[in-house]
Structure 1
Amino acid sequence: MGAFYSCDPLPSFCASVPVGACFGISQWLDAPPPGIQRYTPAQAAGKLAKTFVLTAIEIGMVPEQKVHTDDPAGTAAYRRTWVGIPVWLWVNNPTPTSWGPESRTATLGGVTVTATAKVQSLTWNSGDGQNVTCGAGTPFNAVAYANTAAVDSPTCGLRYQHTSKGGTFTVSATTNWVVEWSGGGQTGNIQMPTTSTSTTLRVGELQSVNVVAPAGDTNH
Structure 2
Amino acid sequence: MPSQTFWAATPPAATGPDPAQLAREAVDKMLLKGPDVNSPKPAPPNGCGKSAKPPAGFGCYTVGVPVWMSLGTSDTTWGPNTASATAGGTTVTATAKVSKVVWTMGDGSTVTCTTPGTPYKASYGTRKSPDCGHQYTQTSQNKKGGTFAVSATSTWDIDWNGGGQQGQLVETRTSQVQVDITELQVVS
Which TM-score bucket, shorter chain as reference?
A: 0.7 to 0.9
Q: Which amino acid aligns with 1:132?
A: V
**Could you say which residue in structure 1 is the equivalent of 2:3?**
none
Q: Compared with structure 1, are the counterparts of its residues 104 and 127 closer, same or farther at alpha carbon in structure 2 (3 Å cutoff)?
A: same
1:54-90 per-residue CA deviation (whole Å, 9 max, x = no partner) reads 112221215676798x639xx7853211111100001
Aligned to 1:83: 63
Task: Give, in angstroms, the shift of residue 46 of structure 1.
Answer: 2.6
Matched residue count: 169
Q: Which runs of 5+ in 1 are unaligned?
A: 1-29, 210-220
Aligned to 2:156: 177
Residue segments in structure 2 that go unaligned for 5+ positions in a row = 1-11
Deviation at 1:102, TM superposition (A): 0.7
- C-alpha distance in structure 2 between counterparts of 1:76 and 1:60, whole Å: 14
Tell me which moved more, 46-55 or 174-183: 46-55
Give runs of ≥4 in structure 1 deviating > 3 Å.
62-68, 75-78
Q: Counterparts in 2 of 1:144-159, with a 5 A limit?
A: 144-145=123-124, 149-159=125-135
Pick from 94, 101, 105: which aligns with 1:122? 101
- The TM-score, its normalising length taken from structure 2, stands at 0.75
Letter in 1 for 2:33: T
Q: Report SS of the residue matched to 1:50.
A: helix
Please report the TM-score for the alignment, with normalisation by the length of structure 1. Answer: 0.65
Residues 128 and 106 of structure 1: CA distance in aligned 2, closer, same or farther (over 3 Å)? same
In the alignment, the residues of structure 1 paired with residue 13 and residue 182 of structure 2 have an alpha-carbon distance, to the nearest angstrom, of 69
Q: Indicate the structure (1 or 2) with the bigger Cα radius of gyration.
A: 1
Deviation at 1:47, TM superposition (A): 2.7
Matching residue's letter, 2:32: L
Identity of aligned residues (%): 40
1:62–1:140 CA contact under 8 A, matched in 2: no
Q: 1:23-42, CA deviations, whole angstroms, 9 ceiling, x for partnerless residues?
A: xxxxxxx999xxxx721322
